[in-house]
């Protein structure tokens, strides 16, 4: 399901809706993210800035927190949606957050308002990563 057109469409719609609700009065750079969990449920988040910059929360972190709060345990795909000509890939901290709940082959889709621009695996964005299995 994580590679299906239906799943990708649902992720895009959820990230787009979340992005519209982003709280970004300082950077004015709104980002939405949506994760697909192991049960096929979609969970979205948006960036939330804070006057005590950089205390804000990334969209990916919000989506992951929503997934956990709703009972999801594993990320099977994630989509990150942002503006601008450059790819809006997850920051380093969010790549590690994704790693906590995903495996190296998990798809990370990077989108702009027009649609998906590029897809990566987690391994491509965070090679030779440290994760929960290192502590087992």
Contact predicate 37/72, CB 8 Å: yes
Could you give the residue numbers annotated as active site? 60
User: What distance in Å separates the CA atoms of residue 37 and residue 68, rounded to the nearest whole number?
Assistant: 9
Query: Can you tell me the mean pLDDT for 1-15?
Result: 88
| Matching residue, tokens 């990566």 | 120
Q: State the pTM of this model.
A: 0.94
Where do the domains of the chain lie?
A: 5-127
End-to-end CA separation in angstroms for the chain: 29
Tens digit of pLDDT for each residue in 62-78? 999 999 999 999 999 99
Instruction: Name which CATH class applies to 5-127.
Output: alpha beta
Which H or E run includes 77? strand 75-82
| Matching residue, tokens 């979205």 | 44
Tens digit of pLDDT for each residue in 87-116? 999 999 999 999 999 999 999 999 999 999
């Amino acid at each position: 399901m994580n590679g299906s057109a239906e799943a990708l469409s649902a992720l895009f719609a959820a990230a787009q809706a979340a992005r519209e609700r982003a709280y970004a009065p300082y950077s004015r750079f709104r980002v939405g993210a949506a994760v697909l969990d192991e049960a096929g449920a979609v969970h979205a988040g948006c960036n939330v800035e804070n006057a005590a910059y950089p205390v804000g929360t990334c969209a990916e972190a919000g989506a992951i927190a929503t997934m956990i709060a709703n009972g999801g345990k594993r990320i099977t795909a994630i989509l990150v949606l942002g503006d601008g000509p450059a790819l809006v890939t997850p920051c380093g901290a969010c790549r590690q957050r994704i790693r906590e709940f995903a495996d190296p082959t998990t798809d990370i889709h990077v989108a702009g308002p027009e649609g998906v621009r590029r897809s990566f695996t987690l391994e491509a964005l965070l090679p030779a990563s440290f994760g929960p299995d290192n502590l087992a």
